[in-house]
Amino acid sequence: MDNKIDIKARIAAIDPAAVWSDAGDGMFRIPVSSFRETAEMLRKEAGFDFLRSLTGMDWGEEGLGCVYHLENTSTGGTITVSTADKDRENAALPSVQDLWKGANFNEREAYDFFGIKFIGHPDLRRLFLRDDWKGHPLRKDYDMALNPLNMKNEVSDDDAPSYEMTPDGSYILKRHPLFEEEEYVINIGPQHPATHGVLRFQVSLEGETIKKIDAHCGYIHRGIEKLCESSTYPQTLGFTDRLDYLGAMQNRHALCMCIEKAMGLEVSERIQYIRTIMDELQRIDSHLLFTSCLAQDMGALEVFFLGFRDREKVLDILEETTGGRLIQTYNTIGGVQADIHPDFVRKVKEFISYMRPKLKEYHEIFTGNVIARERLIGTGKLSREDAISFGATGGTGRASGWACDVRKRHPYAMYGKVDFEEIVLGNGDCFDRYMVRMKEIEQSMNIIAQLIDNIPEGEYQMKVKPLIKLPEGSWYSAVEGSRGEFGVFIESRGDRYPYRVKFRSTGLPLVSCVDTIARNVKIADLIAIGGTLDYVIPDIDR
């Protein structure tokens, strides 16, 4: 708390007009004129080096703006700041992409969705929508009829616009070519088996060496955040499962937690236990699939079959209780959909004793394999600083030596009470990213083993009013998803519908750091890098 007061004084020292508003989690509202200076102070002096989430906002009369969730990775302190520009037609905010590298893609997203110009951003193209898209869909005044289905093949811009401020307060638009004339540029994706979905890379090559990568997202942008704004709170739950479908449980857990926090609802111990166990089962499922796909991409087809064999066992357990194999729709606001199946405990225990020895098989076949080791060890390094700056959480961050596990940083559900080790390795290469996940499977089993015998009696669904309204304010909750921090930001105006919902994608930072990782590596290694980063495209595009 001291920390907060101290920060408050420092922010006020820069601009006395900055106010603290405490609806919900609370945030500092900083005038746009002094925002850049405040951001620099927060980054450089106060040590907030991790940009957890950057959310574009349409505050109607108050203009367009952004909310920044920041964290200091050495102290664990967090802070939320926001800023807005009243001029809706020409909203412009200072860019912070030089302070936090992760802001680069996030600001492009905010430009795409809201039309906010970020002054000083070197490459302010649209991130998700087509370059010839009209309007900005997440604005409240967006007209759906503007953009009928366009079957013309997309011609993407080959130069990047940027806005610079002149001393008299107007902007100049500059355009820089993305690739030079003589560069040899190839396309990978959107239809390519190794991009794990519909992602497109433009890769500039010199011989076999990658010089630059430009990632194009949006081929599976489903507009979930906008859909949420017209859904009641229980209706929004259905979308989360379909974001990162290998983290369906965890995603939904995050949204439920956020809504429960806003409602001031405490869920019973039994629910906490069930949710934790389910999250971990899901993690095992996801990591097995990760291994399968990585191995398949690298030509080790057998591991693909092994992974799916074991994964089906997890799915069977989940299916018995939830009724779903992939999309579980299990968590609800204030509980879970149905009580655990009578066989659940027995089956989970059986699975754990089955799975522990089986992990050796993977290590024998794949981890120890000469080809796999040659291709993974030492390739695609990501430094710790870069991981933090990009916000590359999850296995990727931990392989680079950043202890970024939300389960340890901000314990939720039962994670504060169970004993498990956070796997942190240090090389930041493909092999470490792979090993982190393999070891995490063991840790997940440890967590489940500690909980499974002690699930307390109690309700599996708390009493909640059928009509759920949240008070005014904004809230942020995060869980450790299968591939990093999955966060949910809700702003409510006291209605049955959220005013704005933002999902902090686990995969977007991972894609934004591909360019940094893959520069000067061989093109064949891009497959290993993409495989070990382990992104799920619908989660990136939302």
Partner 1 sequence: MKRNVNIKSMKYEDFNDNEYIENMLRELRENGTNVIVGCLDEVIEWGRSNSLWPLTFATSCCGIEFMAIGAARYDFARFGFEVARSSPRQADFIMVAGTITHKMAPVLKRLYDQMADPKYVVATGGCAISGGPFKKSYHVVDGVDKIIPVDVYIPGCPPRPEAMLYGLMQLQRKVKAERFLGGLNKGISEKEYERQMRADTNTAEDYKEYDESGLA
Instruction: Give the residue with the Cβ less far from partner 1, 51 or 293.
Output: 293
Q: Contact with partner 1 (CB under 8 A): which of 329, 427, 446, 461?
A: 329
Shortest separation between residue 242's beta carbon and ligand SF4, angstroms:
4
Nearer to partner 1, 131 or 374 (CB): 131
Closest approach, Cβ 239 to ligand SF4, in A, equals 9
Q: Site size for ligand SF4, by CB under 6 A? A: 2
**Beta-strand relationship, 200-206 and 500-504:** unpaired
Q: In what order do the strands lie in the sheet with 92-94?
A: 92-94, 117-119, 159-165, 171-177
Pairing of strands 27-29, 78-85: parallel
Q: How many residues bind partner 1 (CB under 8 A)?
A: 50
Residues in CB range of 396: below 8 A, 6 or more apart: 382, 387, 433, 483, 484, 510, 513, 532, 533, 534
Q: Based on CB atoms, which residue is closest to ligand SF4, 380 or 538?
A: 538
Tokens found for residue 321: 């209780």
Based on CB atoms, which residue is closest to ligand SF4, 50 or 535?
535
CB of 346 to partner 1, least distance (A): 21
Q: Binding to partner 1 (CB under 8 A): which residues in 276-305? A: 289, 292, 304-305
CB of 303 to partner 1, least distance (A): 11
The interface partner of residue 152, options being partner 1, ligand SF4, none and the CB cut-off 5 to 8 Å by kind, is partner 1
Question: What residues from 231 to 290 belong to the interface with ligand SF4 (CB under 6 A)?
Answer: 242
Q: Which is nearer to ligand SF4, 14 or 327 (CB)?
A: 327
Q: Minimum distance between the CB of residue 235 and ligand SF4, rounded to whole angstroms?
A: 14
CB of 25 to partner 1, least distance (A): 27
Q: Binding residue for ligand SF4 (CB under 6 A) from 14, 327, 352, 464?
A: 327
For tokens 């089962």, what's the residue?
A: 281
Compute the least distance from the CB of residue 245 to ligand SF4, in Å: 7
* Residue with Cβ nearer ligand SF4 (518 or 537): 537
Among partner 1, ligand SF4, none, the one that 171 touches (CB under a kind-dependent 5 to 8 A) is none
Helix (H) or strand (E) holding 286: helix 269-297
Binding pattern to partner 1, positions 161-200, x when CB under 8 A?
A: -----------------------------xxxx---xx--
Q: Which is nearer to partner 1, 165 or 315 (CB)?
A: 315
Tell me if the bond preceding 193 is cis, omega within 30° of 0.
no
Supply the DSSP string of 469-517, one letter for each residue. -PPEEEEEEEEEETTEEEEEEEEEESSSS-SEEEEE-SSHHHHHTHHHH
Q: What is the CA radius of gyration of the chain?
A: 23
Contact status: 315 vs ligand SF4 (CB under 6 A):
no
Mask for 214-253, x = binds partner 1 (CB under 8 A): ----xxxxxxx-xx--xx---x-xxx--x--xx-------
Length of the chain measured in residues: 542
Taking the complex as a whole, the smallest distance from the CB of residue 531 to ligand SF4 amounts, in Å, to: 22
Closest to 75 in 3D by CA, of 54, 49, 99, 52: 49
Query: What is the nearest approach in angstroms of partner 1 to the Cβ of residue 322?
Result: 12
Out of partner 1, ligand SF4, none, what residue 226 binds, judged by CB under 5 to 8 A for its kind, is partner 1
DSSP for residue 198: S
Q: CA separation (Å) from 480 to 106, 308, 501?
A: 20, 23, 19
Dihedral sign (CA 97, 103, 108, 111): negative
Q: How far apart are CA 270 and CA 257, in angstroms?
A: 15
Q: Of ligand SF4, partner 1, none, which one sits near residue 3, judging by CB under 5 to 8 A according to partner kind?
A: none
Dump the DSSP string for 119-181: ET-S----SSS-TT--S-TTSTT--GGG-----SPP---SEEEEEEE-TTS-EEEEEEESS-T
Least distance between ligand SF4 and beta carbon 486 (Å): 17
Instruction: Please say which residue, 326 or 371, places its beta carbon nearer to partner 1.
Output: 326
Q: Which amino acid is at 10?
A: R
The H-or-E segment that residue 201 falls in is: strand 200-206
Contact of residue 144 among ligand SF4, partner 1, none (CB under 5-8 Å per partner type): partner 1
- Residue written as token pair 């004084």: 9
Q: Are strands 19-21 and 331-332 parallel, antiparallel or unpaired?
A: unpaired
Closer by beta carbon to partner 1, 193 or else 368: 193
CB-nearer residue toward partner 1: 327 or 449: 327
Beta carbon of residue 347, minimum distance to partner 1 (angstroms, whole number): 17
Residue closer to partner 1 by CB (options 221, 261) is 221
Distance between CA atoms of 386 and 249, rounded to whole angstroms? Answer: 29
In the shown chain, the binding pattern of residues 121 to 160 toward partner 1, with x for contact by CB under 8 A and - for none, equals -------xxx------x----x-x--x-xxxxxx------
Give least dist CB 15 to partner 1, A: 37
Q: Is 433 exposed, middle or buried (0-12, 13-18, 19+ CB in 10 A)?
A: buried
User: According to DSSP H, which parts of 331-485 are helical?
Assistant: 344-362, 370-376, 384-390, 394-399, 406-409, 430-452
In the bound state with ligand SF4, the residue whose beta carbon lies nearer, of 173 and 326, is 326
Shortest distance, position 327 Cβ to ligand SF4, whole Å? 5
479's tokens: 């869980």
CA-CA distance, 246 to 284, in Å (whole number)? 10
Q: Is 187 left (phi over 0), alpha (psi -120 to 50) or beta?
A: beta
Asked if 326 is part of the footprint of partner 1 (rule: CB under 8 A), the reply reads: yes
Footprint of ligand SF4 (CB under 6 A): 242, 327
Footprint of partner 1 (CB under 8 A): 128-130, 137, 142, 144, 147, 149-154, 190-193, 197-198, 218-224, 226-227, 230-231, 235, 237-239, 242, 245-246, 289, 292, 304-305, 308-309, 312, 325-327, 329, 537-538
